[in-house]
Amino acid sequence: MSSQEGKGILNTAIAGLSATAAFAIPSLCILWNLDVPTRLGVAYLTEQYLALILGLAVAVQFLTPSAKEPGWARAIDRVLGLLGLGTLAYVALTYAALLNEVAYRPPVLTFVGLVTVALVLEGVRRKAGWTLFLIVAIFLAYALLAHLVPGPLVGRKMSLVPLVQYIGFDPSAVYSTPLKVGAIVVVLFVFFGGLLFKAGGGAFFTDLALAATGRTRGGAAKISVVASALFGSISGSAVSNVASTGVITIPLMRRGGYSKTDAAAVEAIASTGGQLTPPIMGAAAFLMAEFLEIPYLDVVVAAIIPAALYYFSVYVQVDLIAARDRIAFVDEDVPKLADVLTRGWHFLLPFALLLYALFGMNWDPEDAALLSAAAIVAVGFVRSYGGQRLTPRGLVDVFVETGRTMVELILVVAAAGFVIGILNITGLGFALTLLLVDTVGGNLVLILMISAVVCIVLGMGMPTSGVYVLLAALVAPALVETGIEPLAAHLFILYFGMMSMITPPIALAAIAAAAIARAESMATGFASVRIGWMAFIVPFLFVGSTTLILRGDATAIALDAAKALLGTFAVSIAIVGYFVGSLKPIYRAAFLVAGAGVLPFRQGSEIWDNFNIAFGALAIGLLAYRIIAARVRPAMAPVSSRQNTSTRK
């Protein structure tokens, strides 16, 4: 056998091991959630399962070959992948025994901690980029030097050995809530999404959006808004949402007449909003429910009105832009809604089961996801859509793709567990909360603005789940300490963490959309901020008026929702500069001021707030009446009068 043949066999074996490890991640998750070990009479600790899943993720990360790597680097990666898999498999097998030895700090625990911390951090650097890597590295450095930090952030002294043993092994650190949710719940929803799109669900959603909005003005952009909202709630990633739907919607928008920048910006905004849209909200809803120790249903219900305001604003703006720029309808055959539903009705069954299991039967999210995934398998093998249907080979591919997709999330939430562990063991979490609250005093608006900036900065370049977990540990406690409703505080940080996806300079969703549209990245980012302005306002609204997260009586909720819709409509008119016709600057300013006055952010006296809202609503009504009357009056003038005017000219 030649050396070349030997290398080929080795490469094939490593690739096969990587694919097997990826396949095992969703497979073990399904077995765990079906309680198979217990049914077989074997009991395992949750940490044993988590260690094995983390080991498989590390293996997939380092054993998956990269064409850019030289041979020696690939060989090192293989060693690291096998080392990580072997070490964490050992932890999975001996976790209970090691847990009993923690107090004696055995050398094997130091080895386990060092391998876990080093490989997770390197995996995060490769998968999620330098931002999260540097953040975690800074916290590690702080933990070692906390006793030397002056002022209120001083912490307890800790050496390297107990630190790595703690964060790389303890249930309160690497195996804490983020990894539990990711490895037990989120895997199944990613698997659910993979099955759905392998069976043709992606084409169904796009056709559904095309049928619903394709015949309206600006239909191409509206297709993007609707399709990305449907897809994004499931996909769990704004960037993958852009990549999946943007290749269809951006060319449609360009052919319809939207500029390259606006087309890319609309897709970036619509895709980012999917992470904020019930019922799945990427993975954030499950993480939030665990952090707050509340039912998942409470999170989903609270997110309904904010998400509706977000997409209402985007929808109104793309409609007004289409009218202002005289953008044509979609330039291809638009299917009828009835035809789309006739061909793809079977995709509605898994969603109906998912919603019924979650909200009708109050099942745990992971059980509901399993039921829905089984439903997709059942209907996907029987019916096709657009020539796509599930096959045995396709099913195997979904398992492997799910495992590979989950690698980034598993590594990110494990790294976030390091940060949570450091916050706990050093007391930094309490110190940060106290420092922020003492710095701003009782000024709620100031603490919200500072928190918003911190969320955007920390969220830059990070995936959704990592953004939320990090901000839930660092920022949310300070907001809650000032008296903000805990659920509103966590939704606030989620919104601003996600806005890092469209906010320059590191606006990943905007950059991805700009690449598809061949637009300038920074211009797309700023256009995204302009069109997506509501996403930066709505968190302040539901913090100031918790009725917008459905806290309060039905009348107050309905009134505040109506005020928010009216204000959103008026401000959107001001931003686009069009209502019935193009607006002069004075009218745009008037709509802006009046719309802002209507938005229900209660921070003054009740009398003053009500006066602002009444004045704003009256102003919007008068402005709309005057503009419409000015446009309608010439059209309704007698024919002879118009002819006389024409003759005089």
Residue 443 pLDDT exceeds 90: no
For 393-435, write each residue's pLDDT tens digit.
Answer: 999 999 999 999 899 889 988 998 999 999 888 888 888 888 8
What percent of the chain is modeled with pLDDT above 70? 90
- pLDDT value, residue 311: 92
**Structural domain contains residue 578:** yes
Segment 615-634 shows an average pLDDT of 65
Q: What is the SS3 assignment for 478?
A: helix
- pLDDT value, residue 3: 66
For 467-477, write each residue's pLDDT tens digit.
Answer: 788 888 888 88
What percent of the chain is modeled with pLDDT above 90? 33
**Structural domain contains residue 634:** yes
For 35-86, write each residue's pLDDT tens digit.
Answer: 998 898 888 999 999 999 999 999 999 998 776 777 778 889 999 999 999 9
192-201, 477-486, 576-585, 626-635, range with the lowest pLDDT: 626-635
Q: What is the number of other CB atoms lying within 10 angstroms of the CB of residue 171?
A: 18
**Structural domain contains residue 541:** no
- pLDDT value, residue 106: 92
Amino acid present at 251: P
Residue 635 pLDDT exceeds 60: no
- SS3 sequence of 573-586: HHHHCEECEECCHH
**Structural domain contains residue 586:** yes
**Structural domain contains residue 452:** no
The closest of 526, 572, 538 to 265, measured between CA atoms, is 526
Distance CA 132, CA 129 (A): 7
Beta carbons within 8 Å of 174's beta carbon, 6+ residues apart:
54, 116, 120, 167, 168, 414, 417, 418, 421
Distance CA 388, CA 201 (A): 9
**Structural domain contains residue 640:** yes
The 3-state DSSP composition of the chain as helix, strand, coil percent (nearest 5) reads 80, 0, 20
**Structural domain contains residue 320:** no
**Structural domain contains residue 638:** yes
Amino acid present at 619: A
Q: Which domain holds residue 607?
A: 568-649
The closest of 520, 474, 362 to 135, measured between CA atoms, is 474
Distance CA 128, CA 125 (A): 6
- SS3 sequence of 336-374: CHHHHHHHHHHHHHHHHHHHHHHHHCCCCHHHHHHHHHH
**Six token digits for residue 285:** 């809803």
The closest of 406, 542, 525, 438 to 487, measured between CA atoms, is 542
Instruction: Report the range out of 79-93, 501-515, 574-588 with the highest average pLDDT.
Output: 79-93
For 344-390, write each residue's pLDDT tens digit.
Answer: 999 889 888 988 888 888 888 889 889 999 999 999 999 998 888 89
- pLDDT value, residue 649: 41
Q: Spell out a b/e string for 122-152, using b for 16 or more CB atoms within 10 Å of the CB, else e.
A: bbbbbbbbebbbebbeebbebbeebeeeeee
Residue 465 — pLDDT band, cuts 50, 70, 90?
Answer: confident
> Is the Cα dihedral 407, 409, 414, 416 positive or negative?
positive
Query: Based on the structure, what is the number of domains in the chain?
Result: 1
Segment 595-618 shows an average pLDDT of 67
The closest of 634, 463, 527, 622 to 253, measured between CA atoms, is 527
**Six token digits for residue 512:** 């991805």
Higher-scoring residue by pLDDT: 531, 438: 531
Residue 273 pLDDT exceeds 80: yes
For 92-130, write each residue's pLDDT tens digit.
Answer: 999 999 998 888 889 999 999 999 999 999 999 988 778
For 207-243, write each residue's pLDDT tens digit.
Answer: 888 888 777 777 778 887 887 777 766 666 778 778 7
- pLDDT value, residue 639: 47
